[in-house]
Amino acid sequence: MKDSVSSLLGKGALSEGRVAQKIVAKKLIVGVIGLGQIGLMTATVVASRGFTTVGADVNRRIVSKVALGKTHIDEPGLDKLLKNNIRVRRLSTTTDVEQLTKESDVLIVCVQTPLSREGRPDLSFLEQACRLLGRNLSRGKLISVESSIPPGTTENFIAPTIEGESGLKCGSDLWLAHCPERLSPGRALEELRKGPRVVGGYNKSSGNMISRFYREITEGELLVTDARTAEVVKLAENTARDVGIAFANELALLCERLGVDASSVINLANSHPRVRILQPGPGVGGPCLPKDPFLLTFFAEAMGFRPKLIRAAREVNDAMPEHAIELVQQGLAEATKQIKSSKVAVLGTAYKGNVRDTRESPARLVIRGLLGMGAKVTVFDPRADESFGAPRARTIQEAVVGADCIIILTEHDEFRGMKLRNLVKAMRVKPILVDTRHLIDPTKATEAGFIFRGVGYGLIHRPQIPTQLFRPWT
C-alpha cells in the first residue's frame, strides 16, 4: 500500500503528528476483525465517516452476505447505511485476516469473549486474533480491542501475545488500546456516532493516538485512561445494571408477599430525585449482562477476593425464570388445572423488547422448564425466529387458540394494548394470563375474564400480614 503509516515509519519520516494528520485526512485503511453484532456496526459507521474500511470474519457466509450489502443483524438504520457504504466502495469484506493485517493502518478487534461451561473467561477467539495480528504486523499500526475482556487482559495477555509473534513492542512500535463498545440494541448506530468513548491506552502515547482516531468516529466525549481501568469500566457498567435489575426483581418478589403492586412502588419511588429503580422481569439475557459480572470478578476471586453483592445479584436474576414458571403453576392451580395437560402460549423469546436477539434469553429456561413438566407450549414472537424447542405460531391469535395460559416474556410493542376479551374468547375456560413484563393492567385483565398473575403483582390476592408480628409494639 503506497504511503502507508508503516512504510513512512520505516523511512523514519513519521511522527505522532503526521499520523494524526493522516487520521484527520481519512488517509488510513481501517480493518475490523469480527463481523458479529459489534464488528459489523463498527465497520459500517467507520466507513460512513469516510475511512476506507475492510471487515474480516472467518464465517464465509457472513462475509458473503455483508459483501452484498445485506446485514444479519436487526438494527434500525443499519441495512441502509451498510448498502450505501458497500455501493460507494468505502466498505468491503474478506476472510483473509493475514492480508487485512498487512494492509490496514488501524485494526479494530471485535471477536467474542464468551464464558466456558465452567464459568471461566474463554479468550481463545481473542488469542487466535492476536496471534494472526502478531504474525503479520509491521511498525506504526494502531490496534484497538473493543471486545469485553477481564481486567488485566490488555497488558498481561494481548500485548505479550502480539509482541511474541511480531517481535515488535506495544507502546513504541505499535499503539495499543482497549476501547470497549458501549452499545444498546435499537440505538447502537446513534450511540456509535454520538456517544462518549472510553479509550484505555497500553501506555500514554497509545491512549492519545488511538483517541485521535476515535475522535473522527464519534461526536461524543473521548475519555482517555489506562487499559486496565477501561477494562473495569466496561464490565462495571453492565454489572451495575445487573445488580440494579436484581434489586428490582427482589423488590417485586417482596411486593408479591406483602400484597402491593411493585410497578406502583417503583413509579412512586422514582419520583424521588435521587432514586432510579429499574423494572423487574423474568430474568436477564443478552450477550453482556449475564456474562460481564463473571469477567469482572473472575481474576479478583482467583486473587482471594470473594464478591458478595455481585454474586448475590446473579443468583437473584438467574432464579427469575423459575419464578415465572411458578406463576404459571399458581394460575393453573386456581383454575383447578394440571400443568401436564395444559397448553401454554408463550409471547416473546427475545431477551428484550423490540429486538430479535435471543441470546441468553430467560425464555429459553421458561419454555424448556414448561416442556419438561409436560405442558404443551406454543411460541409467538413477531421478531425472533427462535422457539427453544416449542412449535411456533404465526400470530398471537394462532398461539392462544385453545390455550389454558398465556405468559408474556418479552416487552415487544406488539404485546401492548392487546384486545384481552378477544384472547379470552379464543382460549379454554378459566384462562390464565401471566405478565412478567408489566405490560398488562391487572384490573382490565380480570375484568376481561382472566385469572391473572405477574411478577411483582401483589394486589391480586393481598395477604393478611400476621398481627402477632406487631405485638412487641402494642
Active-site amino acid positions: 234, 288
Q: Which of 111, 139, 136 is nearest to 40 (CA)?
A: 111
Determine which helix (DSSP H) or strand (DSSP E) holds 453, and give its type and residue range. strand 451-454
Query: Quick one: DSSP state of residue 157?
Result: I
Question: Which residues, listed in sequence order, are joined to residue 107 by a DSSP beta bridge?
Answer: 31, 143
Residue type, 250: E
In 138-176, which positions are buried (b, 16+ CB within 10 angstroms) versus exposed (e)? Answer: bbbbbbbbbbbbbbebbbebbbebbbebbebebbebbbb
Neighbours of 231 (CB within 10 A): 25
Contacts of 232 (CB under 8 A, 6+ apart): 151, 296
C-alpha cell of residue 163:
509482541
CA 225 – CA 236 distance, rounded (Å): 15
Whose cell is 478487534? That residue is 109
Q: What is the 3-state secondary structure (H, E, C) of 221-279?
A: CEEEEEHHHHHHHHHHHHHHHHHHHHHHHHHHHHHHHHCCEHHHHHHHHCCCCCCCCCC
Contacts of 287 (CB under 8 A, 6+ apart): 37, 357, 359, 360
Q: Do residues 404 and 332 touch, judged by C-beta distance below 8 A? A: yes
Query: Quick one: DSSP state of residue 147?
Result: S
Query: Phi and psi at residue 313, in whole multiples of 5°?
Result: -60, -40
User: CB burial class (10 A; 0-12, 13-18, 19+) of residue 41?
Assistant: buried
Neighbours of 308 (CB within 10 A): 7
